[in-house]
Each structure stands twice: as structure tokens, then as C-alpha cells.
Amino acid sequence: MQHPPFSCMIVDDNEIDRLTALAHARQYPTLDVVGMFESPTDALASLQHRAVDVLLLDVDMPGLSGLELRAQLMQVPVCVFITAYPDYAADSFAVDALDYLLKPIRADRFRHTVSRVEQFFELKRKAQLFDLSLGADTIFIKDGHRQIKLNLHEVIYLEGLKDYTRIVTTTQPYTVLSSIGNLLQNEPFQSFLRIHRSYAVQRHYIDRIDAQQVHVRQFTLPVGRSYRSVFRQDLHD
């Protein structure tokens, strides 16, 4: 299965080690390095304003250790420690580290780590789908003169068309007489992520996110400028 790129941040006080981690990460399209920091404090400040999927952290750093940094960033789904010291391995798993690599990084070992990262997010996606199928709300909509029963987990995205909303499902689209804003205020649709004044998507159908677009199944949808930061934050909650 093709995985979307996972945003990644590298924090290491040694420049050569930072560049080495970057070189390894760049071998894998699933890792999108969006920041590198020498100072854990600077990294922490940056992460107050953006969300990432993966942290690659050194452990022994001045001021704030990698373990302490991770403890303040437990909302980040995946943390991998890269260190010259094996002694911290047990402590790392106390802060939910996915993996623990020893320097110098071996290519085959890093490949194994990336595979674990991909498996983690795939299992997370399947768990979300399972939860949706277990609690799949069934709603009735009026499409023209017909009453249609829909399972919410089959709805891929919503498209606002002024006073109407197009509901695109895994089988076919429907059009209902309700604005997208009003529809999203209804409890069954409050889990949808608003990405544009005219579009809202189901999280589990997102395949890839670009700078200004979201790819869901075979569809490419725009991300509105005013929705970008909120959408990315909601995506990582």
C-alpha cells in the first residue's frame, strides 16, 4: 500500500548527526523532513505552532534532553530516538518511543525503523476504520424525491454548492438541500475535517496531503488558505 508522506522533525545538537539522519530520511518518500533543530528548546517552540507525525530525537542534549522533550510532546504519534548511548533504551520506552537507534546509523537498521513507522500508521488507520464500522451511524437523506439510507463511514467528502451539498460516497454522489455549514453542525457530520469553504473530508479517506491539496481516493480537493493551519492541527488531534 502507498503511504502518505509523514511529516518528520529531527532534533540533535550535533550538526553531522543531524545531516546524517536527514540523509537517511531522504531515502524514503514516506518521510517528509519539515524541520531540523540543534536546540530542543527551539524545536519545542516550533512545535507549538505546527504538528508533525514523527520525531527523530537525540537523547543527550544540553538544556533539555531528548527524553524530556518527548515527555512534553506526547501528542506527536511517533518518536524514534537516535543516540550513541544504549543506557537510555528502557527510559525511552517509558515515553512511548517506537524505536531506539544507536549511532552511527546503519542503513538496514534505519530501513527497519521506517517500516515500523509505516506499520504503526497503517494500524492506526485500520483501527479508525474499525471504530467507524462498529459505530457506523446510519442517516437518512432526501435526494430529490427519494429517501436514501447512508452509512456515514462510506461518505468520502462533502462539497458545498451554495444552498445544496453534494455528498460523495464510495458508491455514488447524492445532493441534499442544505448548505455545507448547516450540515456540518449536525452531530453525525461533526467528525468531518473542513478543508475549504466548499469542502469537508473524512479523515480515514485521506491518502496524501500537498501544500494546497488533499488527495482522497481518486479525488483531489483544494485546501483553502484560511483553513490550512486548523485542518493540519485537527488532522493530528
105: nearest Cα among 76, 79, 82, 138:
82
Class of domain 138-236: mainly beta
Look over the chain and give the mean of its residue pLDDT values, rounded to a whole number. Answer: 86
For residue 133, the model assigns a pLDDT of: 47
Cβ atoms within 10 Å, residue 50: 14
The rounded percent of the chain whose pLDDT value lies above 90 is 51
Alpha carbon distance 96, 215 (integer Å): 30
**Contact (Cβ atoms closer than 8 angstroms) between residue 234 and residue 51:** no
Alpha carbon distance 101, 186 (integer Å): 47
In this prediction, residues 147-171 reach a mean pLDDT of 87
* CA distances to 14, 39, 40, 61, 64 from 45, in Å: 19, 10, 9, 16, 13
- The CATH number for 6-127, chosen from 3.40.50.300, 1.10.10.10, 3.40.50.10680, 3.40.50.2300, is 3.40.50.2300
For residue 186, what pLDDT band results from cuts at 50, 70 and 90? confident
> pLDDT tens digits, residue range 14-45?
999 999 999 999 999 999 999 999 999 999 99
Q: Classify 15 in phi/psi space as left (phi over 0), alpha (psi -120 to 50) or beta.
A: alpha
Which ranges in the chain are annotated with CATH 3.40.50.2300?
6-127
Which ranges in the chain are annotated with CATH 2.40.50.1020?
138-236
In this prediction, residues 62-84 reach a mean pLDDT of 95
Total-model pTM: 0.60
